[in-house]
Structure formats: C-alpha cells, structure tokens
C-alpha cells in the first residue's frame, strides 16, 4: 500500500506540469482516428495513453498558484463524499467516450464533432463550477487550445480526405 501511495504522490506532483494539460485534449484525435478505422486496440491504447499522460512530464519546480488551486479543487472533489449525483456526473466521462467512439465507428462525422465539442465544453463548465477563478482560468486555455486544434484538424481532414469514387453510370443517355 505504501508503494501505491508513493506512486500516486509522484504522479500527482507531475500532474502540476501544464504540458500534460495541453496534450490531454489532443488524445481525442487518435481516439477518433482509430474509431473511424474501427480499431478497438487503437482506441484502447489511446485511452491508456490519455490516462497516463498526466505523469509523462517532470514535476515543475515552482508550479503556478493557479495550477495548485485547480488541482487542489480537483483533489477535494475526487476525495469528497460521493453522492448519487456525483456518481451520475462522473458517468458522463465514459459515456461520452462511448458516444464519441460510436459516432466515428459509424462514420457519423458531424455527430462526432458535436460530441467532441460537447465533451470539452462540459469539462470547461465543470471547472467553472468546482474550481476557483484562478484554477478555472488555468484550465481554460489548455482546454480551448486542444479543442481549437482538434476542430481545425477535423475540418482540414474533412476538406482533403479522399472521397470514394462514384459508381459508374449505366445505360445510355
């Protein structure tokens, strides 16, 4: 148990590095790509990468007070009492990933775009409710930057993707 506690403290300190905050929304890109390609292993690998990305970067020597405030609010929320409402709210995360995967798996690109934007904007609203103003602003830029990158790449992909050839017309004019 002590080893687990040491690992969690090590990971939590590294989560204070805002680089992990900027890359986390970008994991939606490979997740959607693998769903579109109908690759369950690719989707699962992306989710594992997303879940571990919080400790890929070194712990900052002097974390921003806003980052500290945001993460303390998150910690207090996660370690606080778990009511039915809180459990239902937490279910939004896996349910939206399922919806996102299903949208791209079924090639419903517009629905996929709506789900991604809804996911990020829901997280922004959640932070506005549960974080103080400094913590909210610390989270806002990484979330919106990731969303802007996703939406831009999505639009570029839609614009330049190869369309399947049209079936040959039969009969004479």
Q: What is the pLDDT of residue 115?
A: 94
Q: What is the pLDDT of residue 63?
A: 85
Q: What is the pLDDT of residue 170?
A: 58
Is the whole model's pTM more than 0.85, yes or no?
no
Write down the residue that tokens 């919806």 correspond to. Answer: 99
- CA proximity to 158, closest of 102, 86, 121, 108: 108
- pLDDT tens for the 173 residues of the chain, in order: 788 888 888 888 888 888 888 888 889 889 999 999 999 999 999 999 998 888 888 888 888 888 888 888 888 888 889 999 889 988 999 999 999 999 999 999 889 999 999 999 998 898 888 888 887 888 888 888 888 998 998 888 888 876 665 666 555 55
Q: What is the pLDDT of residue 168?
A: 60
Q: How far apart are CA 106 and CA 38, in angstroms?
A: 9
């Amino acid at each position: 148990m002590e080893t687990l506690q040491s690992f969690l403290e090590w990971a939590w300190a590294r989560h204070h590095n805002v680089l992990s905050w900027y890359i986390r929304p970008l994991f939606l890109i490979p997740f959607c790509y693998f769903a579109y390609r109908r690759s369950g292993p690719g989707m699962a690998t992306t989710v594992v990468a997303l879940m571990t990305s919080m400790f890929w970067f070194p712990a900052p020597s002097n974390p921003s007070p806003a980052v500290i405030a945001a993460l303390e609010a998150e910690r207090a929320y996660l370690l606080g009492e778990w009511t039915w409402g809180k459990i239902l709210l937490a279910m939004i995360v896996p349910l939206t990933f399922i919806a996102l995967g299903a949208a791209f798996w079924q090639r419903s690109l517009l629905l996929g775009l709506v789900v991604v934007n809804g996911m990020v904007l829901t997280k922004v609203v959640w932070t506005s409710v549960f974080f103080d103003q400094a913590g909210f602003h610390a989270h806002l830029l990484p979330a919106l930057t990731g969303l802007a990158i996703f939406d831009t790449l999505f639009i570029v992909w839609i614009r330049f993707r190869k369309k399947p050839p049209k079936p040959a017309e039969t009969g004479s004019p």
